[in-house]
Amino acid sequence: MSLIDEFLPQHQFSARHQTTVRCRPGELLDIIQNFRPTRDRVGDTAMLVRQWPAKVMHWLAPARTARPTPFTPANFTPLGRDGDREIVGGLIGKFWRPDFGLAVVNGPAEFLACNPPQTAKLVIGFLAEEIGEVTRLTTETRVYCPDRYSLIMFTPYWLIIRPVSGLLRRRALATIRRLAERRGSGTDALRTI
């Protein structure tokens, strides 16, 4: 069983993106595990638009609405790594809300045990498979809504956010590929095609 199946076997929503990289699987997962996105005008603009409602709500009612905090990869709870094959992280929240409604989750066991009503679970995984002289890197995002309310609330959000999220995932994969292939040299890299 894969790690993504272990942490979120059931889901109503998913998206998958792939690329090939001239880098060994374990080295590639190391890069992903330590990856901090660089400034990206497209990504920054998308996050600005996504967080705009929370900023407006805070501006209109600062006493009732907390100042929004930036959403970053640090919001994800690391859930596990399967050697040189797979790595996963997760979030639990009300993603359709302006503030994301994120639950604080401290580790894999807490993630598995945490099932609040009217709240969705999200897992993102990276699978690295050596295919001949390259590694196929697949990222998959899965979302599970445990009840009718969360499903009704998440569905329109997913329909709006999925194309943008897909674009950002593809851009992140391209950046990871460039980083990995720039690092690879000599015996550490797979032979060039």
Q: What share of the chain is helix, strand, coil (3-state, %, to 5)?
A: 40, 25, 35
Assign 99 a pLDDT band (cuts: 50, 70, 90). confident
Tell me which DSSP letter residue 22 carries. S
Give pLDDT, residue 41: 77
Buried b (16+ CB within 10 A) or exposed e, 111-132: beebeeeebbbbbbbbbbebee
Q: Is the pTM of this model over 0.85?
A: no
Element holding 12 (H helix, E strand)? none
Checking if the pLDDT of 92 tops 70, the result is: yes
Can you give the three-state secondary structure of 98-110, one letter per residue? CCCCCCCCCCHHH
Assign 1 a pLDDT band (cuts: 50, 70, 90). confident
Tokens of 27: 């080295």
Checking if the pLDDT of 141 tops 60, the result is: yes
Assign 68 a pLDDT band (cuts: 50, 70, 90). low
Q: Is 186 helix (H, G, I), strand (E, B) or coil?
A: helix
* Single-letter code of the amino acid located at 45: T
CA distance 122 to 156: 16
Mean pLDDT check: name the lowest of 9-18, 38-47, 65-74, 137-146. Answer: 65-74
- The CA-atom distances, in angstroms, between 20 and each of 33, 99, 114, 121, 128 are 18, 35, 35, 28, 9
